[in-house]
Each structure stands twice: as structure tokens, then as C-alpha cells.
């Protein structure tokens, strides 16, 4: 690897680490941000904004985080194929970094009223758009600098960046909390991680300013063979649109759910289902990320030797086959009392099926008020396993725990059902069997090491599917539409299939009463990707993207010469 190639990888990877750091901050600090901008109380003790307004803000904030990303892929992908890779992803990091810094200095709703959440949502949309354009630019830029036969290895360094960004954001947040204390962090300390991003932005911009345009794009521009309408050519022509569709369902969808399960759903499952405290959960995940992240480079390098498909699809298959036993092992070790209660204590919801909804609620704004929904949601939040029995039409739902029966129409239903399941043997909130980490090195016990081992194995699955994905996507498309074509399936897969995973899985748990049922979402999608990828995705590791570009552009060049 030459000095210039190392510089290319550093510029792309470091900038993308900062991009993901910025993006994850909002997710990690969403509760603090919402308290300052969406749910502020007035002098009379009542919220400044009514419930409908708060719901709209929450919906838009969610949409900006995940649903906007594919639109950023279209906007910046087109720009990257028209004017160049370097300048486009320089713009994306400027937008991302500036938006994040401005969140850190934005006055609250208590200070400037409704302007505060409106400005916040604009900044969130800009973040989502910028992130949608960043990944495709970084992957394309590195791949077009990489020598033939090394693209998997070179682009694998970019793949570390998402995990690196998450790790860095957790480190800064936990460090700031430790320095400021809980009360000060709630009041003003939450702004510090946002403000720190301006330093990261300055470093990244300085590095990227030193870089040259990719040689493939530069040569294409000199020859005048670049696309004049990248969006039309990429998605308006079936031969190219078909490849994008195959890439989405045969590679990216499975990669996305394995990635989100191994990092985000594991975090959600430990905290929300197994009731492990936030600090312990973050420490366990951080150790797993630290131990497993080298797999990104290992599997990127290996994909240059044996191919992209075997590794990506193999990771999807392994994950699908082992998620259920791995998550049950997490339960048994992280919260033994709760795991025993799931096995030994029967809980029944008797309800009219017509009153039961599928409680898919990604933004937290939906209200499920039927008696069946109230009963199921309460049990799901308590991490209780239950099954549903049909009741007469029109009857209110009741929960039966042993000899106790609690009606969902009771005025204090939540407290009553909590008392009933605890009396039957479910652990109380102060359950002493829950695993607890007191400081970063407090991990040297059998249970904690086993939990870290399980989480590390799931991170290794993440590295299998994510390490080679950039090279695989780059090699599927020609230079003239590469930025546009690869960005859209990547961000639809990761923004929609992956981003909706926690909300979908929780709804599946509430629907069935089985705390593990939500795993069917990533398992089914991963298996579908294995099947589609096996039959429809070509192996691309031996493709010479420069030779193919020459073959494709030769007819156009000859036509111009004749004219």
C-alpha cells in the first residue's frame, strides 16, 4: 500500500467515522434532546406543545434519521457522478458536521418557542441527507483508488467506521457524564458531545482538502464519457435498475438486519427486554465492538481471495441459524431470574381478537387504546412471556397470572398487573440477579465474559456481512453511475430494513407474547437474502472495473469521433 493510498483510506475512513459519530449522537441523546425541544413544560407545569404537535415533531425527527437517507443518496449520488467524488463527499461532511454543531448551541423551546423544534428538525433532515451521500462517496472514492485484487481489503477500512462512530459517541457521552454528573448532564452537559464534533469536522475537512479526484472519474471526465443524467441512467434503464434491485434484496437487506441485530437490537434487547442497566449494556457492547471489529478488515481481505458472496451470504446464514440460541443464552446469563420466569410461569391474555392491533410504532406517536392492546403492551414492557386465548366478542381483555386475574379496564391496570406478575414469581425491578458492570474493567467473571463472548460473536457476523459489502456494491456498477447506483440500495437497505428493526421486533413481541419472536424479522430477511443472493447476485471479486469502463465507453467515444 503506497503512502498516497494510505492517505486516501485515512481521509475517507476518518471522515466517515465523524459522520457516524454525529449521526449516533442524536440516537443516544434523543431523550435529552426531546426533553429540551419537544416536551418542555411551561410555567403552569403543562407542556408547551400539545400532544399532536409533539407527535408530529417525533415523527419528523424519526423520518429524518432513517427515511431521509435514501433521498440523500439520490441527491449526492447524482452530484458525485456529475461533478466528482472528492467535492461531493467534502460537501456531505461539511453539512453533517455543521448541523451537529448547531444542535449543540441551539436555544431550547423554553427560550425561543416553536422555532427551536422546527430548526432542530431542519438540522436533522440535513444530517440524514448528508449521511445518505457520504457512504457511497467514501466507498467509491477508495475503491477507485484501490489496485485490482485489493478492493475488498482497501474498502474494509471504511466498514469499520460505522462501528467506530458508535464506539466514539459512547465514549464521549459516558466521559462527559462522568465529568459533569447526572444533573448537570441533563441540564447542559448533553450539548458537549455535539459541540466536540466541530473539532472532528475541522480535522476531517483539512484531510479531505488535500486529496485528489479519483483516477477513474478523472479519466472519464477528461474523455467526456461521464453520464449526463445519472438518475435516469441508473434507475430508468432496466439493465441498471435490475442490478440495483438485486443488490438490495440479494446483498444489502440481509447485511442490514444482521448489522442492526448485532449492534442495535442486542443493545435494545439487553436494556428493554432483559432490564440490564444502561451503563452495563453500553460497556458489554463496547467490549464486544472492541474485540470483534478487526473482522471488518479480515473479511474484506478474505473476500479478495475467495469472493464477496460466500462471506456476505455465509454471515447471513450463520446469523439466521444461531440468533435464537444466542439470544436465549444472553437471557439466561444477563437476567437468570427473568429467564426462569419465562420458562416456568404461565401468563394468559384473554381478549377479543378484533380488539388486538399489530403495535408497530417506530416514532412513539401512535396510541393503541383497545383493551387487548393495553394488556399486551403492558406485559411486553414488563418482558413477560404470555399467550393469547380468544374471548367473547366485545369483552374487555383480562390478564390471568396463576390464580390472579386483572382486567384491562381497571383504573390502575399497569400497577395491578405488575404486582400480579411479581407475586407469581417474576423478578421485581430491584432484581439482584441482573448482571451489572461497575467500571470498564469490571468484566472478569464467568457470566460477564460469556455475555461479551456472545455479543462478540454477533459482532463477527456483522463484520462478515459488512466488511466486503462496499467492494461488492462498487463492482456491480460502472463508473459513470456508480455513486448513484450503489448509494440508493445501500441506504434503503440500512435505513429502512435495518432502521425499522427494533420497532418491528417489539411489535412482533407484543403481538405474540414471546420475547424472542421479534428475532424472526432479521432471520427471515437474512434467509431471503441468502436465497436471492445465491441465485441472482454475480460474484464480482475478479472484475476489472477499469477495463469494463473502457469496454463500455469505447462505443460512445467512437461515436463522438465519427461526429
pLDDT in tens, 290-309: 899 899 999 999 999 999 99
Do 486 and 534 share a structural domain?
Answer: yes
Provide Rg for the chain, Cα atoms. 25
pLDDT tens-digit map of 216-234? 777 777 777 677 778 888 7
Query: What is the rounded average pLDDT for all residues in the chain?
Result: 84
The CA distance from 526 to 184, in Å, is 43
Q: Residue 460: is its pLDDT beyond 90?
A: yes
> pLDDT-derived band of residue 555, with 50, 70 and 90 as boundaries?
very low
Do 472 and 538 share a structural domain?
Answer: yes
* Domain of residue 361, CATH code: 3.40.30
The one-character DSSP state at 47 is B
Highest mean pLDDT among 84-93, 114-123, 197-206, 516-525: 516-525
Residue, of 549 and 300, whose pLDDT is higher: 300
Q: Which domain holds residue 376?
A: 344-424
The CA distance from 19 to 7, in Å, is 18
**CA nearest 208: which of 7, 73, 22, 474?**
7
Do 374 and 252 share a structural domain?
Answer: no
Do 206 and 71 share a structural domain?
Answer: yes
Domain count, the chain: 3
Least-confidence region, from 75-84, 316-325, 464-473: 75-84
Q: With respect to residue 429, please indicate whether it lies within any of the assigned structural domains.
A: no
pLDDT tens-digit map of 413-457? 888 998 999 999 899 877 888 999 988 889 988 899 999 999 999
Do 466 and 322 share a structural domain?
Answer: yes
What pLDDT is recorded for position 40? 65
What pLDDT is recorded for position 112? 85
- Reported pTM: 0.86
Q: With respect to residue 256, please indicate whether it lies within any of the assigned structural domains.
A: yes
Least-confidence region, from 54-68, 73-87, 455-469, 523-537: 54-68
The CA distance from 313 to 455, in Å, is 20
Q: Residue 118: is its pLDDT beyond 80?
A: yes
> pLDDT-derived band of residue 207, with 50, 70 and 90 as boundaries?
confident
**In Å, what is the CA distance from 178 to each residue of 31, 115, 527?**
18, 32, 43
Residue, of 43 and 104, whose pLDDT is higher: 104
Q: Residue 406: is its pLDDT beyond 80?
A: yes
Do 261 and 363 share a structural domain?
Answer: no
> pLDDT-derived band of residue 551, with 50, 70 and 90 as boundaries?
very low
Do 555 and 457 share a structural domain?
Answer: yes
The CA distance from 144 to 474, in Å, is 9
Amino acid at each position: 500500500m503506497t503512502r498516497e493510498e494510505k492517505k486516501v483510506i485515512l481521509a475517507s475512513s476518518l471522515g466517515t467515522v465523524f459522520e457516524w459519530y454525529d449521526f449516533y449522537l442524536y440516537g443516544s441523546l434523543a431523550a435529552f434532546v426531546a426533553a429540551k425541544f419537544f416536551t418542555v413544560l411551561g410555567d403552569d407545569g403543562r407542556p408547551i406543545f400539545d400532544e399532536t404537535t409533539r407527535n408530529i415533531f417525533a415523527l419528523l425527527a424519526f423520518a429524518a434519521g432513517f427515511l431521509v437517507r435514501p433521498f440523500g443518496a439520490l441527491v449526492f449520488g447524482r452530484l458525485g457522478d456529475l461533478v466528482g467524488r472528492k467535492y461531493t463527499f467534502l460537501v456531505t461532511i461539511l453539512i453533517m458536521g455543521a448541523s451537529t454543531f448547531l444542535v449543540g448551541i441551539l436555544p431550547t423551546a423554553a427560550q425561543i418557542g416553536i422555532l427551536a423544534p422546527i430548526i432542530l428538525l431542519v438540522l436533522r433532515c440535513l444530517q440524514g441527507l448528508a449521511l445518505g451521500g457520504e457512504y457511497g462517496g467514501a466507498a467509491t472514492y477508495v475503491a477507485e483508488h484501490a489496485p485490482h485484487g485489493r478492493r475488498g481489503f482497501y474498502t474494509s477500512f471504511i466498514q469499520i467506521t460505522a462501528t467506530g462512530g458508535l464506539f466514539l459517541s459512547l465514549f464521549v457521552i459516558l466521559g462527559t457524564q462522568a465529568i459533569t454528573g447526572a444533573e448537570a448532564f441533563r441540564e447542559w452537559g448533553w450539548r458537549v458531545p455535539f459541540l466536540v464534533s466541530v473539532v472532528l469536522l475541522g480535522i476531517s475537512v483539512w484531510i479531505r482538502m488535500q486529496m485528489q479526484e479519483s483516477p477513474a472519474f478523472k479519466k472519464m471526465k477528461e474523455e467526456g464519457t461521464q453520464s449526463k443524467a445519472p438518475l435516469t441512467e441508473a434507475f430508468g434503464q432496466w439493465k441498471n435498475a435490475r442490478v440495483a434491485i438485486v443488490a438490495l434484496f440479494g446483498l444489502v437487506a440481509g447485511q442490514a438486519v444482521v448489522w442492526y441485530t448485532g449492534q442495535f437490537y442486542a443493545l435494545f434487547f439487553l436494556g428493554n427486554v432483559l432490564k440490564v442497566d444502561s451503563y452495563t449494556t453500553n460497556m458489554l457492547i463496547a467490549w464486544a465492538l472492541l474485540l470483534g471489529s478487526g473482522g471488518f478488515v479480515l473479511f474484506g481481505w478474505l473476500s479478495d481471495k475467495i469472493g464477496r458472496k460466500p462471506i456476505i451470504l455465509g454471515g447471513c446464514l450463520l446469523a439466521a441459524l444461531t440468533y435464537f440460541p444466542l439470544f436465549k443464552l444472553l437471557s439466561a446469563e444477563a437476567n437468570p431470574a427473568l429467564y426462569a420466569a419465562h420458562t416456568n410461569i404461565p401468563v394468559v391474555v384473554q381478549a377479543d381478537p378484533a380488539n388486538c392491533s399489530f403495535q408497530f410504532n417506530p416514532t412513539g406517536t401512535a396510541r393503541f387504546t383497545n383493551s387487548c392492546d393495553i394488556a399486551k403492551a403492558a406485559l411486553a414492557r414488563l418482558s413477560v412471556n404470555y399467550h393469547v386465548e380468544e374471548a367473547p366478542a366485545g369483552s374487555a381483555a383480562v390478564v390471568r397470572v396463576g390464580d390472579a386475574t386483572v382486567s384491562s379496564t381497571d383504573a390502575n391496570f399497569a400497577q395491578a398487573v405488575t404486582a400480579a406478575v411479581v407475586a407469581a414469581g417474576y423478578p421485581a425491578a430491584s432484581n439482584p440477579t441482573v448482571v451489572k458492570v461497575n467500571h470498564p474493567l469490571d468484566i472478569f467473571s464467568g457470566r460477564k465474559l460469556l455475555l461479551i463472548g456472545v455479543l462478540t460473536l454477533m459482532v463477527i457476523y456483522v463484520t462478515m456481512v459488512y466488511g466486503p459489502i462496499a467492494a461488492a456494491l462498487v463492482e456491480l456498477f460502472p463508473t459513470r453511475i456508480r455513486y448513484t447506483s450503489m448509494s440508493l440500495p445501500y441506504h434503503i437497505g440500512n435505513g429502512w430494513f435495518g432502521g425499522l428493526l427494533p420497532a418491528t421486533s417489539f411489535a412482533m413481541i407484543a403481538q405474540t407474547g414471546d420475547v424472542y419472536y421479534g428475532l424472526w424479522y432479521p432471520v427471515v430477511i437474512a434467509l431471503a437474502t441468502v436465497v436471492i443472493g445465491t441465485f441472482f447476485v454475480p460474484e464480482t471479486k475478479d472484475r476489472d472495473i477499469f477495463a469494463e469502463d473502457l469496454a463500455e465507453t469505447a462505443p460512445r467515444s467512437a461515436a463522438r469521433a465519427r461526429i
